[in-house]
Amino acid sequence: MKTLFAALALALAATTAPAQQPQTDLPRARLNAGMHLLDVQVAATPEQRATGLMWRREMGTNEGMLFVFEQPSQQCFWMKNTLLPLTAAFLGDDGEIVNLADMQPQTTDAHCSRKPVRYVLEMHQGWFGRKGLKPGMKLGGLPAPR
């Protein structure tokens, strides 16, 4: 019986270990917010969006992750397995910031867009505030949805 539990534990560890690696090989895009340039990874598939920035321990100052959805809808994000404090910018089709949400690491609180959006941009917490970016302002360079 002890051997069975040990084997099950090893099998479980083997199946969950790869999922605990951060995504670092996603396509990148260059966005602009006025004079500010951003280098973002683009999460465009359901699998890429589900993993997002989980398990990431560091990220450059002007780096982030852009989540691209097939069509506008209300989007809600949480921070399970996410180690960095982030701010999510919910963006309309035209790049307008609909709303911003500060999110704490490793929490399951829902942070939602106030209206349907096609894009969500996650950056270091406070990045938007330090750059003077607020709802109603626009970001440029957004990739076209697939």
- Is 141 part of a structural domain of the chain? no
Range of the domain at 25: 21-130
- Is 71 part of a structural domain of the chain? yes
DSSP codes, 68-109 = EEEEEE--EE--TT--S-EEEEEE-TTSBEEEEEEE-TT---
- Is 41 part of a structural domain of the chain? yes
pLDDT in tens, 109-126: 999 999 999 999 999 999
pLDDT of residue 52 exceeding 50: yes
pLDDT of residue 3 exceeding 50: no
**Using H for helix, E for strand and C for coil, what is the string for 128-140?**
HHHCCCCCCCECE
- Is 4 part of a structural domain of the chain? no
Global pTM value: 0.86
Are the beta carbons of 55 and 81 closer than 8 angstroms? yes
- Is 6 part of a structural domain of the chain? no
Q: Half-sphere exposure of 41 toward its Cβ, with a 13 Å CA cutoff? A: 19
- Is 72 part of a structural domain of the chain? yes
- Is 58 part of a structural domain of the chain? yes
The CATH number assigned to the domain holding 45 equals 2.60.120.1140
Q: Is the dihedral of CA 115, 117, 122, 127 positive or negative?
A: negative
Q: How many domains does the chain have?
A: 1
pLDDT confidence bin for 11, thresholds 50/70/90 = very low
- Average pLDDT of span 30-44: 96
- Is 136 part of a structural domain of the chain? no
Other Cβ atoms within 10 Å of 40 Cβ, number: 24
pLDDT of residue 58 exceeding 60: yes
**CA 45 distance to own-chain centroid:** 12
